Amino acid sequence: MKIKNPVLFILLGIFTIVTLADIITSLFVQSAEANPVFILTNNIYIISLIKMLFIVVIYYIYRRNIYTTHFIYYVLLLIVVLGSVLYTLAAYGNIIGIQNPQLVEAAKDIPNSVKVQEYSKFVGIIYVLPLLFSILTFKFYEWSLKYIKIIKER
């Protein structure tokens, strides 16, 4: 297999590893799980399948290596990078839960509405806000290019 895009290949590898770490570690702390899909379905395997499908979709995009605009490619990179951060922190939290079963036991008593609220805050701060700010910044960059002059370095 020829590596078409080494940067995306490495990012996809990291994303895959941390996603699998999150999937595996979440199996041991299900009663503390706050993901809304899990709370709705009470099935950890559905979340795992969705996460694995996400990896497959990104891998397909990587293999295809065709993008309609620079913006689309940038957003893909952003999703993979921020997703890696999110899943790393999720796996870390799961490991803390595995090492401290009393925390997982205590989480059983937390109402699902509170779990979803805190999960939403976590995802919003770690993933959604940085994604929105970065996308907005890139769009400003694109819109302003026609007004600037770049001097190429020699």
Q: Report residue 74 as tokens.
A: 């940038």
User: What pLDDT band is residue 110 in, cutting at 50, 70 and 90?
Assistant: very high
> Using CA atoms, how far apart are residues 97 and 103, in angstroms rounded to an integer?
6
∠ CA(103), CA(110), CA(40), 5° rounding?
A: 110
Averaged pLDDT, 89-97: 96
> Using CA atoms, how far apart are residues 138 and 105, in angstroms rounded to an integer?
44
Query: Is residue 99 classed exposed, middle or buried when 0-12, 13-18 and 19+ CB atoms within 10 A define those classes?
Result: exposed
pTM of the model as a whole: 0.88
Residue 151 backbone zone (phi > 0: left; psi -120 to 50: alpha; other: beta): beta
Q: 135 pLDDT exceeds 80? A: yes
